Structure 1
């Protein structure tokens, strides 16, 4: 049994959170995962989770109940589900009323920084997480922002009782062979290519998006957690809750760069007769991200993880190109699905 202060509750230990869970277990934390399926419950238990709780993100009472029993909470399920975030915040506030401190790390995403249109090119606007005003300048109706603002309101109220941070990943790539889970954007664009016979990009494909390997991101969460644990509640660092986590620096690929790699890779694999990427007709957006296609795969989102780097974190995993060719594409091609029946990505997109 872990000692007080080492009990962790992870809402949504999936593509991101499962990797975080495994790192926490290795460090001796007692971890409980909140998830939907029995099969996945067995998987995280095999990874060392002390407990798996089955439930829905809309079950606010159940989520709050388990938050009350944990010192540390991660939300890694989706950046766009307000009721589950509110349920966590309810638990954090109830713990505060009982004199209990909580550390809460919420997952948002850099879609909130989206800049430009699918018809524009690379933006010069870059956001830095050590400059809080840059993130605060985004519109209140930007993607994910409503939930972020809800969290910020509670953070101000509970300044002496809770350490609250918001992790904001960019485009996530990478593959953990033990988990057999894929990311969202690039695999979805690849499945579109397999269905339609060409590698797609949205608009002119000129927008760029910072990116991060999921295993580097998982280590970023641990670095952030240890940092929060080291801070006193009156630390001015807690006034800025934002943390980016990216690997690319000034070498972010454009969406057309990504399409070119998809096209050349599928051509080499014998899946496409022509590697040349093409613009996506709007009438087929339903086979990518539907109404969110422009925002998710057509604009700019440039971020710099200044704060994590200052804490000693650095990316060490494969580049997005190496990961795609060596790990993700083989897994996508092994999927036993009816490619013509593919209907795009139907869930919420974390970034």
Structure 2
């Protein structure tokens, strides 16, 4: 019998993961949806739409209690929906096998404070997370809420939080197919008529959406099979970049296409608007130990050309 899987989020990451899950033909999938047109598309794909929003407490908690697997890939920053999931998992029939809950956070949590280059967060060293990350860091309130719920031992579930870094590449889902950081930077540059090179000295790890999808599947497979309490924090990364180098490339590519004319300027601080220019160093260990196969993929530099041209065809820039 197919396991039931409840998905929150069918956008850039969630939609790409959804397509991969459907290809496996191993799950009976339902997905939170607030739009009737998207609901019709989900039905055509073989997915049961669950009509509601992230604030729909009763809807989400009921689905979480009844589902074998819950994957929250909608946002890293919505506390009400996470509380609804945790409530549902605490109400899950104790005679049932533990559910699997995969929550999506992000390595933006590692950006506050700005850690020096010699500080790298490794998912096999969770104590460093609790020691060096303040409670006010991005995503941290939600991550800590999940951590406390797990430690209280009231959830009939195996829980892990996956932390992607800067994600790039064109997604494969049915709806949104572009990421956040690089596309926002592209839009900002065109709006301003020049590239603002935020935090050029700072460094981030990155990952192509194709490999992030397989990271989710690897984590899911491990959680389904393990009987031991899983690690809470799971990092997924394959490459890295300095923002300054990307800014120089972005300036060149946009000028070649006649999209900007102004001279690039440097801003030593990171940007809250584009979420670029901060510092986030992370290292994946657990996924590799569990057999994660990293596929050949374009680098973030190679993908930038594709993303600019894709956005010109699909969104107003």
TM-score of the pair, normalised by structure 1:
0.82
**Distance verdict in 2 for CA 1:207–1:331, change over 3 Å:** same
What are the residue-to-residue correspondences of 1:122-271 with 2, within 5 Å? 123-137=117-131, 138-158=133-153, 161-176=156-171, 179=174, 181-203=177-199, 205-232=200-227, 235=228, 238=230, 240-248=231-239, 252-271=240-259
Decide whether the 8 Å contact of 1:75 with 1:106 is kept in 2.
Answer: yes
More deviation, 192-201/39-48: 39-48
Aligned-pair CA distance for 1:132: 1.5
Aligned-pair CA distance for 1:278: 1.4
Taking the aligned partners of 1:40 and 1:139, their CA distance within structure 2 comes to 38
Aligned-pair CA distance for 1:94: 0.3
Runs of at least 5 residues in structure 2 that lack an aligned partner in the other structure: none
**Distance verdict in 2 for CA 1:98–1:62, change over 3 Å:** farther
Runs of at least 5 residues in structure 1 that lack an aligned partner in the other structure: 340-351
TM-score of the pair, normalised by structure 2:
0.91
Instruction: Give the paired residue count.
Output: 313
Aligned-pair CA distance for 1:266: 0.8
Taking the aligned partners of 2:166 and 2:141, their CA distance within structure 1 comes to 20
Could you give the per-residue CA deviations for residues 225-256 of structure 1, whole angstroms, max 9, x where no partner exists?
11111111xx2x52x211000111xxx21121
Higher strand share: 2
**Distance verdict in 2 for CA 1:46–1:224, change over 3 Å:** same
Taking the aligned partners of 2:208 and 2:135, their CA distance within structure 1 comes to 28
Taking the aligned partners of 1:99 and 1:332, their CA distance within structure 2 comes to 46
Taking the aligned partners of 1:245 and 1:163, their CA distance within structure 2 comes to 19
The aligned counterpart of 2:103 is: 106
Aligned-pair CA distance for 1:116: 5.3
Decide whether the 8 Å contact of 2:19 with 2:172 is kept in 1.
Answer: no
The aligned counterpart of 1:348 is: none
Decide whether the 8 Å contact of 2:11 with 2:173 is kept in 1.
Answer: no
Could you give the per-residue CA deviations for residues 61-87 of structure 1, whole angstroms, max 9, x where no partner exists?
111111122100000010100000000
Could you give the per-residue CA deviations for residues 154-185 of structure 1, whole angstroms, max 9, x where no partner exists?
21233783100000111111103664521011
